Amino acid sequence: RRWIRLLNIDGINVYYGNIHAVRDISLTVGEGEIVTIIGANGAGKTTILKTIVGLLKSRTGTIRFQGDDITQEATAGIVRRGIALVPEGRRVFPRLSVADNLILGAYSRKDKEVERDLAKIYEMFPRLAERRHQAAGTLSGGEQQMLAMGRGLMSRPKLLLLDEPSMGLAPLLVRQIFQTILDINSMGTTILLVEQNARMALSIADRGYVLETGSVALAGSAADLSDNDKVRRAYLGE
Ligand code: ATP
């Protein structure tokens, strides 16, 4: 079976009490794509990701994954379907070892290939392999980001949601993390990437959405957005 659209969000509205954080957002992510949502602080990017995985509920509209309506589904079920969120600020378990953090990422799986996937993650992130017995809280910021991404991959997601993976990292590490996102995508995982670093995000994405105060202000191919005057001025610092 093939799905042209892996994720299809249609007209969602999300509130925190009276704050209307996400306004009539519609967006799609096709199988195999890297799609980015860029926007300033507070534009609603994180809110969209939390709503996709069921941590927040939309008042209206629908979210479909592989054609199934998941709008009202609980987070555990959504994760089992193949969506993983790597949250902003990493959120690793600081007292647990690197290995235990990774194994926890596979908790919703029932198959017996966890060890094999763990080996693959260590191959992708040799730094994590060297530090597998170290407490996660003692890793550097970049290493914690790698661990959070590795943990997300341990659930074998079809769709990986990344919330500002570049936050707080030095430029060299940012380039490494973005290269890793490309590698993960080329191995078959679809990516929805939320970023404030619009330049890096657009450099690896197929398509993008520009979010302004909860609404989609612009959408298009990453190439078109990179050429757009408004995007260049407001988000690329030109
Ligand atoms: P950033 O890049 O700074 O993380 P963002 O685009 O991810 O921003 P969100 O975190 O989605 O933005 O926030 C969207 C809006 O909702 C903001 O105005 C924010 O203040 C508000 N908001 C977020 N979380 C809550 C909450 N728990 N309670 C009340 N308001 C919230």
Q: Could you give the CA distance from residue 146 to residue 176 in angstroms, rounded to a whole number?
A: 10
Ligand 1: residue of 13, 25, 47, 49 to mutate (most ligand atoms within 8 A of CB) is 47
Sequence-separated (6 or more) residues with CB below 8 Å from residue 3: 31, 66, 67
**For the packed helices 141-153 and 171-186, what is the interaxial angle rounded to 10 degrees?**
10
**Which ligand 1 atom is nearest residue 49's CA?**
11
Indicate if ligand 1 lies below 6 Å from the C-beta of 42.
yes
What's the pLDDT tens digit per position in 106-165?
877 777 788 888 998 999 889 999 999 999 999 988 889 889 999 999 988 999 999 999
ipTM over 0.85: yes
What's the pLDDT tens digit per position in 45-72?
999 999 999 999 999 999 999 999 999 9
Instruction: Please state the pTM of the whole predicted model.
Output: 0.92
Give me the percent of the chain exceeding a pLDDT of 90. Answer: 73
Indicate if ligand 1 lies below 6 Å from the C-beta of 16.
yes
Instruction: With beta carbons less than 8 A apart as the criterion, state whether 206 and 213 touch.
Output: no
